Amino acid sequence: MSKPYEHLIKIILIGDAGTNKTKILLKFADDGQQQGQFISTIGCDFKIRDLEAHGHRIRLQIWDTAGNETFFTITSSYYRGTKGIFLVYDVTNEKSFHNVKSWMGNISEVTGKDAVVILLGNNCHLKNDERQVSWERGYALAKEMNVKFFEVSADTGTNVEEALKSLVLDVLAKVY
């Protein structure tokens, strides 16, 4: 009996607590079908999603890591074996944007250049007067770090699927 997939790709979501990584995970894995309140992730959680890309059957393990610094020693161990990383900040939270470079440093320490990284600015559906971080600043930071950039909304689903497909295609191109 053959496996239901040809490639297994481990993806993690990292970033500060409160950036709605769990909601993004649910959009990736369950198309956001689960509703209601979310509690903070303790350590990590993951979902599985199968998809097809460029004729390949792919199984994604998508890991949601705790953004609280208390759990960093635990969550950094989940970086190992990771092929793709979504580094998430909240466009309504300047501090979460400011901490992106620190998170990127952690990525470099643990994975080197082995993983594909995409910067996600979450909550793009909110009005400009609710934002603390503009699209231009997010794009400039991604360019400085030499990574792709998407603004997404875990609430509306805007660009979530596009970001996931982009990451998967980049990982396939780099690794396989």
Q: CB count, 10 Å around CB of 15?
A: 25
Rounded to whole angstroms, the Cα distance separating 18 from 20 reads 5
Q: What is the sign of the dihedral through the CA atoms of 161, 167, 172 and 173? A: positive
Instruction: Pick the most confident of 1-10, 41-50, 164-173.
Output: 164-173
DSSP code per residue over 11-66: EEEEE-TTS-HHHHHHHHHHTT---S--PPPSSEEEEEEEEEETTEEEEEEEEEE-
| The domain over range 7-175 is classified in CATH as 3.40.50.300 | yes
Specify the pTM: 0.87
For 63-101, the pLDDT digits (tens) are 987 655 544 555 566 777 899 999 999 999 999 999 999
